[in-house]
Amino acid sequence: MTNTPPPSAASLRGAVDLSSLIRPPVTPGAPAPAQGAGGPSLVVDATDASFTGILELSNTVPVVVELHGGVPTASLTNLITEFGGKLVLARVDATTNPQLQQAFQAQIAPTVAAVVAGRPLALFEGELPEAEARQVFEQLLVLAAQNGVTGTVPVAPVEPDAEAAEPVEEPLPPLHQAAYDAIEAGDYPTAMSAYRTAIAQDPRDQLAVAGLAQVSLLHRLTGLSAGAIRDAAAAAPSDVDAQLAVADLDVSGGHLEDGFDRLLTLFPSLDADGKNAVRTRMLEYFEVAGAEDPRVSIGRRRLTALLY
CA dihedral 40, 42, 43, 46 (to 10 degrees): 80
Looking at the chain, which residues constitute the CATH 1.25.40 domain(s)?
174-307
The predicted structure's pLDDT at residue 239: 94
Looking at the chain, which residues constitute the CATH 3.40.30.10 domain(s)?
9-155
Specify the CATH architecture of the domain 174-307: Alpha Horseshoe (1.25)
Q: Is the dihedral of CA 236, 241, 242, 247 positive or negative?
A: positive
Instruction: Respond yes or no on whether the N-terminal peptide bond of residue 110 is cis (omega within 30° of 0).
Output: yes
The predicted structure's pLDDT at residue 27: 37
User: What are the tens digits of pLDDT across the range 71-84?
Assistant: 888 888 888 888 88
Predicted confidence band at 12 (pLDDT cuts at 50, 70, 90)?
A: very low
pTM of the model: 0.50
Q: What is the DSSP string of 220-253?
A: HHTT--HHHHHHHHHH-TT-HHHHHHHHHHHHHT
**Rounded CA separation 216/194 (Å):** 12
Q: Do the Cβ atoms of 208 and 172 come closer than 8 Å?
A: no
**Rounded CA separation 90/77 (Å):** 10
**Which of 205, 175, 207 lies closest to 191 in space, CA to CA?**
175
User: What are the tens digits of pLDDT across the range 145-176?
Assistant: 888 888 888 765 434 444 444 555 667 789 98
Cβ neighbors of 166 (< 8 A, separation 6 or more) are: 26, 27, 28
Q: Do the Cβ atoms of 299 and 266 come closer than 8 Å?
A: no
User: Is 9-155 CATH 3.40.50.2300?
Assistant: no
